[in-house]
Amino acid sequence: MNPIGATKRPARGPDLAFLKRKAAELRGEVIGMSHKAGSAHLASCLSCVDILTVAYWHVLNIDPAAPTAEMRDRFILSKGHAAMAIYATLAHRGFFSRDLLATYTADGGKLAEHPPANLLPGIEAATGSLGHGLPIACGHALAARIKNVPDSYRVFALLSDGECNEGSVWEAAMFAAAQDLRCLCVIVDYNKWQATARSNETLRLSPLREKWESFGWDAHEVDGHDIEALCEVLSSVPNRSSRPVAVVAHTVKGKGVSFMEDDNNWHYRAPSAEEVALARKELGLS
Amino acid sequence: MRNAFADELTKLGDEDHRVVMLSGDIGNRLFDAFKDKHQNRFFNCGVAEAHMTGLAAGLAMNGLRPVTYTITPFVTTRCLEQIRTDICYHDLPVTIVAVGAGLAYAGLGPSHHACEDIAFLRALPNMVVICPGDAWEVRAALRAAMKQDKPVYLRMGKKGEPKVHQGPVENFAIGKAIPIVEGTQICILSTGNMLPEAIEAGRLLEKSGKSARVVSFHTVKPLDGDCLTETLRRFELVVTVEEHSVIGGFGSAVVEWAVDNGFDTRKVLRIGTPDKFFKESGEQEHARKQLGLSADQIARRIVSHLS
């Protein structure tokens, strides 16, 4: 029934202490990058760090030394504005040197403010314009069936809640359900904010889990900062049904730093040196 | 053209297991043969062109050779950003096939006309733009498109256009224009489904004592620089003909090239659709006549331009 068996998944349960420590390190990394580059979208990065940590250190069947291996699990950061978070994640996971992070936004560099095409190992797709990642993820998932290797890898797409404004997300949602793309998983980083307003006051997303469910997906709600819960729900893809899986992850924009949490000014603001020091202290980083 | 496309695609599907056909809920029965033979490689993507285009990019990222297909405005302008960002930015071998280009679906109204698509798509980096002149060129162009590793836009008419070539086009190459009729004084460069009108215009010119060469200039990007060099050197008048706006289309591309390469653009006459929506009901022939694109109107314009 489920060819992605225990052999491909971590045999042991998650090392929660390690994952929490890693998430704190990644938060420290992106806060430092945002400060150094004066770059926006820090709060959008902080809301999805726990999801990225669980995916890259517990769930995904990946090998940083073979970033294009045919049977790898795919992770597509559809919310491309969280570029700092995916860069930090890939560097810490060994896809490229951590030294490269220092070149973020530098003239002539490879690390632009949205992930580039065909430049960096581990970046499956260039994103930045919202609503593109899920259709591409559907292509990855459908390709496995066309190539007669169904269920041999999983495809995860991380979307923002503001991104769910885009009609193309729902076009893809209906296609994935019609095609029974059971190895496809959408994670919505539901931090309740979009760039300039509360997401539900902008375009009514709620009830979001029920929306995915009514589109034919197996939909879950989870605390997007609960490492253990994330490990469990993301590891359960594919489940025993033929349906694709949606995980509505309730998150807090700016999570991990008290003075950034749920304050949408941090969608665009970059922290000062003093704020970096305060944030690192809160995160338990030296 | 569309029947030739469906038939040739079925053959390509036989030869190459990477070929995947994506339809935007169009072509009822047109792809029956493809579906019969390659059921697991045909997908009706519904009326959802943005998704269909992103999906094609995802398939191509995995080594497949997808084709997206529906009516011209919907497979081009409706999902232009997906073409730009998902396909062209990643430089993926996706072939975008449009049916009903220009005024082929004149009767369906301006929502279904497509006189701006060449302008949009040729501006995209990595994109190849091919407008075949008849059904035989469609077959050859599709085959050539699927053999290379770049995004291609294939712009077709609809069905029942006169065939210009007598059989398969030998030595078809992307970016290599095909001389159809020889002449000495005027050179008509035609792209896409205007080719039969261009040939007829050439015939009318011959009757009035002017000698016209007619070329099927199927590839709008990359342009055939050798052909343009020879044409701009040799002929008294060079005429571009297209069922597309004079803004940004084939004629624009030729004039841009001529300026950049130091040729005298005063000898170029551009014939295409005007900068307005055509709102009258009626079929393609009517629309062409109203917009000055019929063979005799083209011939008359050329004569008056010479005098």
Taking the C-alpha atoms of residue A47 and residue A250, their distance in angstroms, rounded to an integer, is: 9
Q: Are B180 and B154 in contact (CB under 8 A)?
A: no
0.90 exceeded by the pTM?
yes
Please name which of B72, B68, B53, B126 lies closest in space to residue B244, comparing C-alpha atoms.
B72
Q: Is the peptide bond before A14 cis (omega within 30 degrees of 0)?
A: no
Q: Is A11 exposed, middle or buried (0-12, 13-18, 19+ CB in 10 A)?
A: exposed
Kindly report, residue by residue over B127-169, the tens digit of the pLDDT.
999 999 999 999 999 999 999 999 999 999 998 899 999 999 9
Please name which of A60, A129, A198 lies closest in space to residue B86, comparing C-alpha atoms.
A129
The b/e string for B258-267 (b: 16+ C-beta within 10 A; e otherwise) is beeeebeeeb
Taking the C-alpha atoms of residue B18 and residue B83, their distance in angstroms, rounded to an integer, is: 20
pLDDT of res. B28: 84
Q: How many residues does chain B have?
A: 307
Please name which of A120, A123, A80 lies closest in space to residue A97, comparing C-alpha atoms.
A120
**In Å, how far is B64's CA from the nearest CA of chain A?**
7
Please name which of A274, A257, A249, A196 lies closest in space to residue A50, comparing C-alpha atoms.
A249
Backbone angles phi, psi at A157, to 5 degrees: -125, 125
Q: Give yes or no for B16 touching A (CB within 8 A).
A: no
**The two structure tokens encoding residue B20:** 């995947």
**In Å, how far is B57's CA from the nearest CA of chain A?**
6
Secondary structure of residue A228 in the 3-state scheme: helix
Q: Which of A132, A135, A143 sits opposite B64 (nearest CB)?
A: A143
Q: Give yes or no for B247 touching A (CB within 8 A).
A: no
Chain B residues within an 8 Å CB radius of A172: 48, 51, 54-55
Residue B174, Cβ neighbours under 10 Å: how many?
Answer: 20
Please name which of B71, B74, B93 lies closest in space to residue A171, comparing C-alpha atoms.
B74
Domains of chain A: 14-282 (3.40.50.970)
Taking the C-alpha atoms of residue A110 and residue A108, their distance in angstroms, rounded to an integer, is: 7
**The two structure tokens encoding residue A92:** 């810490």
**In Å, how far is B241's CA from the nearest CA of chain A?**
36
Question: Where are the alpha helices (H) located in chain B, listed in sequence order?
Answer: 2-15, 32-37, 49-61, 72-75, 80-81, 117-122, 135-147, 195-207, 225-234, 250-260, 284-290, 295-306
pLDDT band at B181 (very low <50, low <70, confident <90, very high): very high
Q: Are A146 and A114 in contact (CB under 8 A)?
A: no
Quick one: DSSP state of residue A12?
S
- Using the beta-carbon criterion (under 8 Å), do B86 and A171 form an inter-chain contact? no
More confident residue, B28 or A46: A46
Q: Which of A128, A135, A141 sits opposite B54 (nearest CB)?
A: A135
pLDDT of res. A3: 43
Q: Are B244 and B192 in contact (CB under 8 A)?
A: yes
Secondary structure of residue B126 in the 3-state scheme: coil
Q: In one letter, which amino acid is B258?
A: A
Q: Is B69 exposed, middle or buried (0-12, 13-18, 19+ CB in 10 A)?
A: buried
**In Å, how far is B94's CA from the nearest CA of chain A?**
12
Predicted ipTM of the assembly: 0.96
Kindly report, residue by residue over B210-242, the tens digit of the pLDDT.
999 999 999 999 999 999 999 999 999 999 999
**In Å, how far is B229's CA from the nearest CA of chain A?**
36
Taking the C-alpha atoms of residue B174 and residue B176, their distance in angstroms, rounded to an integer, is: 6
Q: Which residues contact A188 (CB under 8 A, 6 or more apart)?
A: A159, A160, A161, A164, A208, A246, A247, A248, A249
Q: Give yes or no for A143 touching B (CB within 8 A).
A: yes
Kindly report, residue by residue over B236-274, the tens digit of the pLDDT.
999 999 999 999 999 999 999 999 999 999 999 999 999
**The two structure tokens encoding residue A188:** 């919505």
**The two structure tokens encoding residue A180:** 């029974």
Half-sphere exposure of A7 (CA within 13 A, CB side): 4
Chain A residues within an 8 Å CB radius of B64: 143, 146-147
Q: Are A90 and A120 in contact (CB under 8 A)?
A: yes
Q: Which residues of chain A have pLDDT under 50?
A: 1-7
Q: Which of B40, B54, B85 sits opposite A139 (nearest CB)?
A: B54
pLDDT of res. A1: 36
Q: Which residues contact B296 (CB under 8 A, 6 or more apart)?
A: B200, B201, B204
**The two structure tokens encoding residue B57:** 């990019």
Quick one: DSSP state of residue B85?
I
Taking the C-alpha atoms of residue A158 and residue A246, their distance in angstroms, rounded to an integer, is: 10
Q: Which of A132, A143, A174 sits opposite B54 (nearest CB)?
A: A132
- Using the beta-carbon criterion (under 8 Å), do A175 and B48 form an inter-chain contact? yes
Average pLDDT, chain B: 97
Quick one: DSSP state of residue B96?
E
Q: CA gyration radius for chain A? A: 18
Please name which of B158, B96, B170, B169 lies closest in space to residue B127, comparing C-alpha atoms.
B96
pLDDT of res. A7: 40
Chain B residues within an 8 Å CB radius of A117: 89-91
- Residue A83: alpha-carbon gap to chain centroid: 10
Give me the residue label for tokens 């309730």: A250
**The two structure tokens encoding residue B269:** 């006459």
Nearest residue of A to residue B83 by CA position? A132
- Using the beta-carbon criterion (under 8 Å), do A146 and B20 form an inter-chain contact? yes
Domains of chain B: 2-155 (3.40.50.970), 178-306 (3.40.50.920)
Quick one: DSSP state of residue B20?
E
**In Å, how far is B146's CA from the nearest CA of chain A?**
18
pLDDT of res. A11: 54
- Residue B93: alpha-carbon gap to chain centroid: 18
Report angle CA B120, B126, B132 to the nearest 5 degrees: 65
Residues 74-103 of B with CB under 8 A from A: 81-82, 85-86, 89-91
Q: Tell me: pLDDT of B18 over 60.
A: yes
Taking the C-alpha atoms of residue B213 and residue B189, their distance in angstroms, rounded to an integer, is: 8
